Amino acid sequence: MQLYNTLSAKEREALIEQAGLDRLTISFYKYAHIGNPQIFRNHLFIHWNDLDVLGRIYVANEGINAQLSVPATNFNAFKAHLDSISFLEGVRLNIAIEQDNKSFLKLKIKVRHKILADGLNDNTFDVTDKGVHVGAEQFNQLIEDPETVLVDMRNHYESEIGHFKNAVTPDVDTFRDSLDIIEEQLSEHKEDKNLVMYCTGGIRCEKASAYYKHKGFKRVFQLEGGIIEYTRQVREKKLENKFIGKNFVFDHRRAERISDEVIAQCHQCGKPCDTHVNCANEACHLLFIQCEECAAKMNNCCSDACKEIHELPWEEQKRLRKGKVASNKIFKKGRSEVLKFKKQSNTTVNQSQE
């Protein structure tokens, strides 16, 4: 039995269109102790492939992290399978605010060292000893408390297009970078401040809350279900929405709009814009913010150099790339000297007023 994806993205896209079925984009995670991640991975693939699940799933000894889509007609069967797994029974599922039938086009389930790269090598750190989970209503109350420091645990390119007002938004490229920055800058407030964190779906905050408790912080809270669940609760309960802009997501959509405000700018001309794209030059593929006017002018590229390459015949582009390291694995997302209007976030505990 083949326990891997056998169809190309284009083939899968055509099948989705032919089926004409609505799909649900879902994310979930769970920290748990998994003895044999490879066997668990194969078990998931066998069952989920039969249910036409597509997505990106990571499995490790510390748990599972999943972003996926499933036909709406198969949702109950998918949920029943999750509930049949002891540590996933009743797991919270974050269902996307905005649906897209093509958010994922392949089923990729990979075994990793960790489900969330943190660069930590501390055997005394217990990721299951987490902070207090709070829902949207309590979160809104907490972040109005003058004794609260609100921290965005996402990376710079995520918080640039949307964040909570007055949040600390570290200008970092990785989750690991933010752990040290926050600990250092809040070291004098381990006992007298509420440390409240949020991220996209909760997984980074959960590990961060356990880490900061491990480091001696006494009042640690995290937004349950992240921005995705917060938005759902705000709309369902008619609460005040304190998030401005877009929520960056890691699938084909790239973002969900949470509020009407546009707080970012085109990285090429400076015009208000919060649309992330990838450079059309396959040898670059840099993630950056580009408005419609610049997209037309630059042929969807990040620079004149990339534009020139992208306009070459496809075989010539392939020839130029041959034997070279894929630069899209080197570029840091949203960072390049060619991006004249890249906005720098704040790396201190001074809070964003946007």
All structural domains of the chain, each given as residue ranges with its CATH number in brackets, are: 9-111 (3.30.70.100), 276-329 (no CATH)
Which of 199, 266, 291, 294 does the annotation list as catalytic?
199
Q: What are phi and psi of 231, to 5 degrees?
A: -60, -40
Asked about 269 being catalytic, the answer comes back as no
pTM: 0.80
Whether residue 212 has pLDDT greater than 90: yes
| Lowest mean per-residue pLDDT among 6-15, 20-29, 293-302 | 6-15
Sheet holding 94-95, edge to edge: 94-95, 23-31, 63-71, 54-60, 107-111
In the three-class reduction of DSSP (H, G, I as helix; E, B as strand; rest coil), residue 277 is classed as: strand
Whether residue 291 has pLDDT greater than 90: yes
The reported pLDDT for the residue numbered 1 is 54
As a whole number of angstroms, the distance between CA 211 and CA 290 comes to 36
Q: What is the DSSP letter of 342?
A: P
Could you read off the pLDDT of 126-172 as tens digits, one per residue?
A: 888 889 999 999 999 999 999 999 999 999 999 999 999 999 999 99
Beta-carbon contacts of residue 300 (< 8 Å; ≥ 6 apart): 277, 279, 280, 290, 310
Cβ–Cβ < 8 Å for 231, 278:
no
Q: Which residues of 167-190 are buried (b: 16+ CB within 10 A; e: fewer)?
A: bbbbbbeebebbbebbbebbeebb
The reported pLDDT for the residue numbered 72 is 95
Whether residue 346 has pLDDT greater than 50: no
Cβ–Cβ < 8 Å for 4, 35:
no
Residue 44 burial (10 A CB sphere; 0-12, 13-18, 19+): buried
